[in-house]
Each structure stands twice: as structure tokens, then as C-alpha cells.
Amino acid sequence: MRTVDLSPLYRSFIGFDHLASLMDAAARTDKQATFPPYNIELLDQDKYQITMAVAGFSEQELNIESENNTLKVSGTKAQKSAQPERKFIHQGIAERSFERKFQLGDHVKVINAELEHGLLVINLEREIPEALKPRKIEIGSGRLLDNK
């Protein structure tokens, strides 16, 4: 994989260092976890949905936090000593704790989350404040004022 030198951006653009660090983090794929699997869907222009396969986890074992444009979903399984001894012939359902982080865009908010049939569904929506929305400027038909 090729690496991209972003140092010219640091010299020319002020305030974009956060974007460059996000790009650096995205380029480091060797440490990204693959569990649990997930989908990200675009439902509408400003509505998104994350679906995570969390089979074997209850609502009490899952935690969802949103802070500073980062969505963190974690699952903590109960200690093995608290569970009765089980003998598996094959164990394909992972029962390990996890933590997955998602970088959210500006003004993206978590609307709700539901757990059903081993799937955790998190609904998100971009809510752009009125001050940042484009507005139409009417052109007046009056004459210009003369400064005498």
C-alpha cells in the first residue's frame, strides 16, 4: 500500500489538521477489528442506519455512546466463571467483548437504537442548523438611494 505525504497540507491549510489525522487513521487498516460485522446504509438524503450482528449479546451487555463526532459501540460479555460450564463441539458464535468506533460527520445525531434477533440497529440523522442552511436572497425592485 502506498503512503500519502500530507505535510504540504499542514503548511498550506489552517484548521484541516483534524481531516488529515482522520485520513491517517483510515489508512491504518492493520489494527482495525473485524468483529462484529456491520452494514452502513443510506436510507434517505440525511438518514443513515448502522446494523451490527451482535448475536449472543443482551441489551444489558451493549453500550452505545456518542461524543465529539464519534459513535462508540461496545459489548461486554459476562465473566466465564459466572456461567455454567459448557462443552462445545464447535463454537462459531463469538462470545468475546468488542469495541467499534465510527467517525460521524458534522451535525449527525443518533436518533435511536434497537436490538432484535441478534441485530443491533442504530438510526442516525444529519440535522443541519438553520444558520448553516442555504437561504434565498430576494432581489429588491426599488431604486437605489441617492446620497446627496
Note the pLDDT tens digit of each residue in 7-51: 665 555 555 556 666 666 666 655 556 788 999 999 988 899 999
C-alpha distances in angstroms, 18 versus 23, 46, 92?
Answer: 9, 23, 39
What average pLDDT score do residues 73-102 get? 81
C-alpha distances in angstroms, 120 versus 36, 62, 74, 110, 124?
Answer: 10, 9, 11, 13, 13
Residue 96 belongs to a domain: yes
Strand partners for 65? 72
Q: How large is the C-alpha radius of gyration of the chain?
A: 24
Domain residues for 122?
33-130
pLDDT at 120 over 90: yes
Residue 15 belongs to a domain: no
Each as own residue / partner, the long-range contacts of residues 106-110 (CB below 8 Å, 24 or more positions apart, any chain) are: 106/69, 107/132, 108/48, 108/69, 109/66, 110/64, 110/66, 110/71
Residue 1 belongs to a domain: no
Single pTM value for the model: 0.66
Q: What is the pLDDT of residue 105?
A: 85
Q: What is the pLDDT of residue 8?
A: 64
Residue 73 belongs to a domain: yes
Residue 3 belongs to a domain: no
Residue 57 belongs to a domain: yes
Judged by average pLDDT, the poorest of 7-21, 105-119, 126-140 is 7-21
Answer yes or no: are the C-beta atoms of 12 and 20 closer than 8 Å.
no
pLDDT at 102 over 60: yes
Number of domains, the chain:
1
Answer yes or no: are the C-beta atoms of 39 and 50 closer than 8 Å.
yes
Residue 51 belongs to a domain: yes
Q: Tell me the helices (H) and strands (E) count for the chain, helix number first.
A: 2, 7
Residue 104 belongs to a domain: yes
pLDDT at 142 over 80: no
**The domain spanning residue 79 has which CATH number?**
2.60.40.790
